[in-house]
């Protein structure tokens, strides 16, 4: 004997939305925000911005971590030009690496925008 449970439409939509919210985690920092998407993607975006030109989508958080590992010990936003990112996105991603505690990166200079790797990498929960 099987029992079929049916939720009212409003309850079903609320359940779907809360599930989606649980799968999407957002961390906000001073200049940037990081969003983990349900599909596994990781989005770096300028905090408070709402256009696609103010975000960069990575395949995953680990993909961004891998890019960070390949950077030299000291790097500028301009050094990231070979990655195909526009100038604004290069600055945004560099700021995110500096702000996010999981990346071993510190701000070295604002002009030109320069970061340097620190001694240890923090494990991401």
Residue-level pLDDT at 17:
62
For 17-33, write each residue's pLDDT tens digit: 666 555 578 999 999 99
Residue 61 neighbours by CB under 8 Å, 6+ apart = 34, 36, 42, 102, 124
For 47-86, the pLDDT digits (tens) are: 988 887 899 999 999 999 999 999 999 999 887 666 678 8
Mean pLDDT of 79-104: 88
How deeply is 121 buried, as exposed, middle or buried, from its count of CB atoms within 10 A (0-12, 13-18, 19+)? middle
Torsion (CA) 2, 17, 41, 32 in degrees, nearest 10 = -160
Q: What is the pLDDT of residue 95?
A: 97
Q: Is residue 12 part of a domain?
A: no
Say whether 98 sits in a helix, a strand or coil.
helix
123 has pLDDT over 70: no
Higher pLDDT, 125 or 116: 116
pLDDT at 19: 61
Question: By the 8 A CB rule, do 26 and 34 touch?
Answer: yes
In a domain, 93, yes or no: yes
In a domain? residue 38: yes
Q: Is the pLDDT of residue 102 over 90?
A: yes
Q: Residue length, the chain?
A: 125
Count how many domains the chain has: 1
* pLDDT reported for residue 82: 63
pLDDT mean across residues, the chain: 86
Q: Write the burial class of residue 110 (CB in 10 Å: 0-12 exposed, 13-18 middle, 19+ buried).
A: exposed
Residue 57: give the domain boundaries: 23-117
């Amino acid at each position: 004997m099987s029992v079929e449970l049916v939720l009212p439409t409003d309850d079903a939509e609320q359940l779907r939305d809360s599930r989606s919210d649980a799968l999407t985690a957002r961390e906000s920092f001073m200049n940037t925000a990081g969003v983990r998407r349900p599909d596994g993607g990781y989005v770096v975006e300028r905090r408070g911005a709402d256009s696609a030109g103010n975000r960069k989508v990575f395949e995953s958080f680990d993909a961004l971590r891998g890019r960070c590992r390949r950077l030299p010990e000291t790097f500028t936003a301009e050094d990231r030009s070979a990655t195909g990112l526009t100038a604004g996105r290069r600055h945004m991603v560099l700021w995110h690496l500096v702000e996010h505690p999981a990346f071993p990166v510190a701000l070295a200079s604002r002009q030109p925008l320069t970061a340097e790797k620190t001694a240890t990498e923090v494990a991401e929960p």
